[in-house]
A = this chain, B = another copy of it.
């Protein structure tokens, strides 16, 4: 009867019947933060004719050297079907090469071309500028701390 008096917090974590407040939801918070960050980069990338995912793919390719498609997908955070399409699009533009593995016919080896490197060289200064401006706003140490926390979370799950 006076149950309410004894439990002034009707939505404690253990007996909640309602969903978590969307303002304190990890998936939504991560989405918002990502959108806040990417909205700075997207217009610039668009001017260079690459999507966000294509840019990720090229960067991984650039820093890894020749790499198998499955590894590339993993590192670029792109699903295999998407990567197939992205590779095709970038190959058509001459930004990468795609060839079969010598001994294992199932695998595909991908490598960035000089044109691909040139695109990276063209985009990088603007990208670095945007990143620096973000670090200035949010605090460089804050960014580093956040990166550490995100990495920890990713590994914990």
Which residues from chain A sit less than 8 Å from chain B, CB to CB? 13, 16-22, 24, 26-41, 52, 56, 59-60, 62-63, 75, 77, 120-121, 123-125, 127-128, 131-132, 134-135, 137-138, 142-143, 145-147, 149-154, 156-157
Q: Are B27 and A37 in contact (CB under 8 A)?
A: yes
Please determine whether B63 and A33 come into contact, CB atoms closer than 8 angstroms: no
CB neighbours (8 Å) of A120 from chain B are 19
Which residues of B sit under 8 angstroms from A142, Cβ to Cβ? 149, 152-153
Please name the residue on chain B nearest to A13 by beta carbon: B132
Residue of B nearest to A52 (CB): B27
Contact, CB under 8 Å: B157 / A22: no
5 A-B pairs with least C-beta separation: A30-B34, A29-B150, A36-B157, A138-B156, A33-B150
The oligomer's copy count stands at 2
The interface residues of chain A, by DSSP majority, are classed as: helix
Q: Which residue of B lies closest to A23 (CB)?
A: B151
Q: Which residues on the B side are within 8 Å of A39 (C-beta)? A: 157
Asked, given contacts A31-B77, A32-B150, whether A59 binds B19 with beta carbons under 8 Å apart, the answer is yes
**Cα-based distance from A134 to B27 in the complex (angstroms):** 12
Given contacts A27-B37, A149-B146, A157-B138, contact A22 B75 (CB under 8 A): yes
